[in-house]
Amino acid sequence: MPASVVVGTQWGDEGKGKATDYLADRMDLVVRYQGGNNAGHTILAEGHTLKLQLIPSGILYPHITSVIADGVVVDPRVLLEEMDGLAAVGVDPSRLMVSGNCHMIMPYHLELEKVTERFLGKNALGTTKRGIGPAYGDKAARIGLRIQDLFDEKIFREKLDVALREKNLVLTRVYGRLPLTVGLIVDDYMRYAERLRPHIADTSKLIHEALREGKNVLLEGAQGTMLDLDKGTYPFVTSSNPVTGYALASAGIGPREVERVIGITKAYVTRVGAGPFPTEDHGPGGERLGTLGQEFGTVTGRKRRCGWFDAVILRYAARVNGLTELFVTKLDVLSGFPTLKVCTSYRAEGETFEDVPSNQSLFHAAEPVYEELAGWDEDLTGARSIEDLPGAARAYLDRLADLVGVPISVVSVGPGREQSLPAA
């Protein structure tokens, strides 16, 4: 049985959790493959609203094994809090499996990110301040601590000692902060170790065996293509790779296992944090999208920047991820606009770009070229099939699929499961 990938096509917050939820019935394993507790989705469990940042939302289904694969950076304190939150509302977290190869977010990562973002001043990236960049930085520099290090206190202490020697010099001499002590960190992390032990597994083998047994595996990304460290709007990106290619590296499977690559896209665009956003609307249109779409970050509560659908970045996302289909979310938010703008290309330095310009300065200078489509007034939230949508809404969807060159398989018109409408 094949694997499917759920990938964000914009700057994150496209509604990936919703797609996972929609597909959950047919899945046996749901695997989170990158990022950390910088992502977040709100879920409704047993009548309670929960915010999950690390654990895939598949945890709500008793038939699903939830997996955190190698490429995720894990703050063990946050992970345990999430597990406790689930248990408190009657959701059993025992089917969560975590790779021992995951790198951990350490207290000095949080501390360092706070001071470096401050140091950058007006050039700050606007990160979520969860220690994501510093943790991935240490991974690449090969001085990171992995979850498996927790299970040998001597090794853990030695590695921590090496890392802290350098971190404390930076914290105290460069940023005038107090040093962190090895002992306190060891005490905390050894407590985490005991609780995490039953959840640690060789997740690559687990996923491989599930596929061999004919089970369905969903690989779930966090953030989105335009926040990808290599393929996004560097340096205004996250420190991992949300694109499909990394799903394979993190899960530890080959490309031939993947059958579907589902690109999640909002019917408009949002972005949190700094960086270029050609279709951003600073006027009443953007304001209205933000209000009706309740565009506030799940993790930081920050107001999201809002703008119009951008077919240029979607074509790019289709290309770099190998999308087989699109899952369009939040179409209901567009009701009531007399016309809807859709960006079909960019203009920069006198040239027209049908694709994302590969040069950063050109992308910063990109002006959207819009096409205006007819809007509709009807409330879409009651639609239960594509046929229930007004003609203008269907024409809007047809035009998006045409511009991107990828078929739309599902359209959602609200947070409920019954509001995800199969389109093909």
Residue placing its CB nearer to ligand IMP in the complex, 101 or 128: 128
The answer to whether residue 128 forms part of the interface with ligand IMP (CB under 6 A) is yes
* Cα separations in angstroms, 366 against 12, 157, 201: 20, 50, 46
As measured in angstroms, the least distance from the Cβ of 130 to ligand IMP is: 6
Of the ranges 8-16, 114-122, 366-374, 393-401, which one interacts with ligand IMP (CB under 6 A)? 8-16
- With CB under 6 A as the contact rule, the residue among 133, 252, 263, 286 that binds ligand IMP is 133
Q: Looking at 220-228, 305-313, 325-333, 405-413, which segment touches ligand IMP (CB under 6 A)?
A: 220-228
Dist. CA 70–CA 74, nearest whole Å: 10
Indicate the helix (H) or strand (E) that contains 408: strand 408-412
Residue 227 lies near ligand IMP (rule: CB under 6 A) = yes
Q: Number of C-alpha atoms within 13 angstroms, CB side, residue 298?
A: 20
Backbone φ and ψ of 397, nearest 5°: -65, -45
Shortest Cβ 277–ligand IMP spacing (Å)? 11
Range in contact with ligand IMP (rule: CB under 6 A) among 124-132, 141-149, 187-195, 325-333? 124-132
In the complex, least distance from residue 54 CB atom to ligand IMP, rounded to whole angstroms: 12
Q: Does 345 bind ligand IMP (CB under 6 A)?
A: no
For residue 235, say if its preceding peptide bond is cis, omega within 30 degrees of 0: yes
Q: Does 273 bind ligand IMP (CB under 6 A)?
A: yes
Q: Is 239 in the site for ligand IMP (CB under 6 A)?
A: yes
Q: How far is the CB of 8 from ligand IMP (least distance, A)?
A: 8
CB atoms under 10 Å from CB of 74, counted, come to 22
CA atoms of 189 and 80, how far apart (whole Å): 11
Q: What is the DSSP letter of 268?
A: S
- If you write DSSP's letter for every residue of 86-110 in order, what string do you get? HHHTT--GGGEEEETTPEEP-HHHH
Q: What strands, in cross-sheet order, belong to the sheet with 65-68?
A: 200-201, 96-99, 65-68, 29-32, 217-220, 3-8, 258-266, 325-329, 408-412, 420-422
Q: Among residues 344, 342, 327, which one has the least CA distance to residue 265?
A: 327
User: Is 13 known to be catalytic?
Assistant: yes
Q: Which is nearer to ligand IMP, 128 or 412 (CB)?
A: 128
- Choosing from 101, 203, 238, 335, the residue that interacts with ligand IMP (CB under 6 A) is 238
Q: Which two tokens stand for residue 254?
A: 């080959």
- Which residues inside 23-82 make contact with ligand IMP, applying CB under 6 A? 38-39
Instruction: Please count the other Cβ atoms lying within 10 Å of the Cβ belonging to residue 406.
Output: 24
CB of 81 to ligand IMP, least distance (A): 18
223 binds ligand IMP (CB under 6 A): yes
Q: Which helix (H) or strand (E) segment is 60 a member of?
A: none
For residue 199, indicate whether it is catalytic: no
Q: Residue 368 CB, nearest distance to ligand IMP (Å)?
A: 20
Check 13, 70, 228, 332 and give the catalytic one. 13
Interface with ligand IMP by CB under 6 A: which range of 6-14, 80-88, 313-321, 400-408? Answer: 6-14
Least separation in angstroms between CB 69 and ligand IMP = 17
> Is 20 near ligand IMP (CB under 6 A)?
no
The backbone torsions φ and ψ at residue 8, rounded to the nearest 5 degrees and listed phi first, read: -75, 140
How big is the site for ligand IMP, counted in residues (CB under 6 A)? Answer: 20
* Listed ranges 44-52, 77-85, 222-230, 364-372: which one lies at the site for ligand IMP (CB under 6 A): 222-230
The reply on whether position 13 binds ligand IMP by CB under 6 A is: yes
Please check whether residue 219 is in contact with residue 33, taking contact to mean a CB–CB distance below 8 angstroms. yes
What are the structure tokens assigned to 13, written together? Answer: 């917050």
Query: Is position 241 an interface residue for ligand IMP (rule: CB under 6 A)?
Result: no
Q: Which residues share a beta bridge with 42? A: 51
Does an H or E element contain 128, and which?
A: none
One of 21, 25, 28, 41 is an active-site residue; which one? 41
CB atoms within 10 A of CB 123: 9
- In whole angstroms, the minimum distance from the beta carbon of 224 to ligand IMP comes to 7
Residues 6+ apart with CB under 8 A from 332: 379, 380, 381, 413, 414, 419
Q: 65 or 128: whose CB is closer to ligand IMP?
A: 128
Cα–Cα distance, 146 to 142 (Å, whole number): 10
Q: What is the binding site for ligand IMP (CB under 6 A)?
A: 11-13, 38-39, 125-128, 130, 132-133, 222-223, 227, 236, 238-239, 272-273
Q: Supply the residues annotated as catalytic.
A: 13, 41
